[in-house]
Protein backbone atom coordinates (compact mmCIF):
# COMPACT_ATOMS: atom_id res chain seq x y z
CA UNK A 1 0.00 0.00 0.00
CA UNK A 2 1.32 3.42 -0.95
CA UNK A 3 2.00 6.39 1.32
CA UNK A 4 1.19 9.97 0.34
CA UNK A 5 4.69 10.43 -1.09
CA UNK A 6 4.50 7.19 -3.06
CA UNK A 7 1.07 8.07 -4.43
CA UNK A 8 2.43 11.38 -5.74
CA UNK A 9 4.76 9.35 -7.98
CA UNK A 10 1.85 7.61 -9.72
CA UNK A 11 0.41 10.30 -11.98
CA UNK A 12 -1.40 7.63 -14.00
CA UNK A 13 -3.48 6.78 -10.91
CA UNK A 14 -3.90 10.39 -9.75
CA UNK A 15 -5.31 11.32 -13.15
CA UNK A 16 -7.99 8.64 -12.75
CA UNK A 17 -9.33 9.69 -9.33
CA UNK A 18 -13.09 10.18 -9.41
CA UNK A 19 -13.55 13.08 -7.00
CA UNK A 20 -17.35 12.74 -7.17
CA UNK A 21 -17.43 9.06 -6.16
CA UNK A 22 -18.72 8.36 -2.66
CA UNK A 23 -18.95 5.05 -0.79
CA UNK A 24 -22.72 5.00 -1.38
CA UNK A 25 -22.38 5.77 -5.08
CA UNK A 26 -19.74 3.06 -5.44
CA UNK A 27 -22.13 0.47 -4.01
CA UNK A 28 -24.90 1.59 -6.37
CA UNK A 29 -22.57 1.69 -9.36
CA UNK A 30 -20.66 -1.55 -8.87
CA UNK A 31 -22.72 -3.80 -6.63
CA UNK A 32 -26.38 -3.22 -7.43
CA UNK A 33 -26.72 -4.68 -10.88
CA UNK A 34 -30.11 -4.19 -12.48
CA UNK A 35 -30.97 -0.85 -10.89
CA UNK A 36 -29.08 1.28 -13.40
CA UNK A 37 -32.23 2.33 -15.23
CA UNK A 38 -33.40 4.21 -12.14
CA UNK A 39 -30.08 6.08 -11.98
CA UNK A 40 -30.07 6.99 -15.67
CA UNK A 41 -26.54 6.48 -17.02
CA UNK A 42 -24.81 6.05 -13.66
CA UNK A 43 -23.91 2.34 -13.69
CA UNK A 44 -21.21 -0.06 -14.85
CA UNK A 45 -21.36 -0.47 -18.60
CA UNK A 46 -18.67 -3.11 -19.15
CA UNK A 47 -16.54 -5.64 -17.28
CA UNK A 48 -13.25 -4.11 -16.23
CA UNK A 49 -14.65 -0.63 -15.60
CA UNK A 50 -13.09 0.76 -12.43
CA UNK A 51 -13.05 3.80 -10.18
CA UNK A 52 -10.41 5.30 -7.92
CA UNK A 53 -11.75 7.32 -4.99
CA UNK A 54 -10.97 8.32 -1.43
CA UNK A 55 -12.76 7.19 1.72
CA UNK A 56 -12.39 7.71 5.45
CA UNK A 57 -12.81 4.81 7.87
CA UNK A 58 -13.92 6.53 11.05
CA UNK A 59 -12.51 3.78 13.29
CA UNK A 60 -8.88 4.42 12.35
CA UNK A 61 -6.51 6.17 14.73
CA UNK A 62 -4.84 8.37 13.79
CA UNK A 63 -7.33 9.68 11.22
CA UNK A 64 -6.40 8.69 7.68
CA UNK A 65 -7.73 8.68 4.16
CA UNK A 66 -7.62 5.62 1.95
CA UNK A 67 -7.56 5.53 -1.84
CA UNK A 68 -9.63 2.64 -3.18
CA UNK A 69 -9.80 1.01 -6.59
CA UNK A 70 -13.19 -0.61 -7.16
CA UNK A 71 -14.53 -2.68 -9.99
CA UNK A 72 -17.25 -5.31 -10.27
CA UNK A 73 -14.89 -7.97 -8.90
CA UNK A 74 -14.18 -6.13 -5.66
CA UNK A 75 -12.24 -3.37 -3.96
CA UNK A 76 -8.53 -2.85 -3.32
CA UNK A 77 -6.85 -0.37 -0.98
CA UNK A 78 -4.19 1.44 -3.03
CA UNK A 79 -2.88 4.11 -0.64
CA UNK A 80 -3.39 5.14 2.97
CA UNK A 81 -2.02 8.17 4.77
CA UNK A 82 -2.74 10.60 7.55
CA UNK A 83 -4.67 13.77 6.88
CA UNK A 84 -5.25 16.71 9.20
CA UNK A 85 -7.44 15.28 11.99
CA UNK A 86 -9.74 18.30 12.02
CA UNK A 87 -10.48 17.89 8.29
CA UNK A 88 -11.18 14.18 8.70
CA UNK A 89 -13.49 14.84 11.66
CA UNK A 90 -15.39 17.52 9.71
CA UNK A 91 -15.85 15.10 6.81
CA UNK A 92 -17.29 12.42 9.09
CA UNK A 93 -19.49 14.94 10.91
CA UNK A 94 -20.81 16.38 7.64
CA UNK A 95 -21.46 12.86 6.35
CA UNK A 96 -23.72 12.19 9.32
CA UNK A 97 -23.12 9.35 11.71
CA UNK A 98 -24.31 6.16 10.10
CA UNK A 99 -24.68 3.36 12.67
CA UNK A 100 -22.89 0.25 11.51
CA UNK A 101 -21.31 1.89 8.48
CA UNK A 102 -18.25 3.94 9.38
CA UNK A 103 -17.13 4.70 5.80
CA UNK A 104 -17.30 8.31 4.66
CA UNK A 105 -16.39 10.45 1.67
CA UNK A 106 -14.05 13.41 2.05
CA UNK A 107 -15.87 16.74 2.28
CA UNK A 108 -14.97 19.69 0.06
CA UNK A 109 -12.36 21.07 2.47
CA UNK A 110 -10.56 17.72 2.75
CA UNK A 111 -10.81 17.25 -1.00
CA UNK A 112 -9.01 20.56 -1.53
CA UNK A 113 -6.30 19.48 0.91
CA UNK A 114 -5.90 16.19 -1.00
CA UNK A 115 -5.75 17.93 -4.36
CA UNK A 116 -3.11 20.34 -3.10
CA UNK A 117 -1.09 17.63 -1.34
CA UNK A 118 -1.14 15.45 -4.45
CA UNK A 119 -0.67 18.30 -6.93
CA UNK A 120 -3.87 17.36 -8.75
Residue 13 CB burial class (10 angstroms; 0-12, 13-18, ≥19): middle
| pLDDT (0 to 100) of residue 34 | 47
| pLDDT (0 to 100) of residue 55 | 97
The pLDDT > 90 percentage for the chain reads 56
pLDDT, tens digit (0-9, with 9 covering 90-100), for 32-43: 654 555 555 566
| Section 100-106 average pLDDT | 85
| Section 13-31 average pLDDT | 88
pLDDT higher than threshold 90 for residue 25 = no
pLDDT higher than threshold 70 for residue 115 = yes
pLDDT, tens digit (0-9, with 9 covering 90-100), for 41-76: 566 666 677 899 999 998 888 889 999 999 878 899
Contact between residue 91 and residue 106 where contact means Cβ atoms under 8 Å apart: yes
| pLDDT (0 to 100) of residue 40 | 56
2 DSSP 8-state letter: B
Amino acid sequence: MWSLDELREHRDVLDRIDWEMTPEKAVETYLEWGTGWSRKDDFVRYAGQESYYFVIYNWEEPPQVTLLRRDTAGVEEIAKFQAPPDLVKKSVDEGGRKPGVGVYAPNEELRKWLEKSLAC
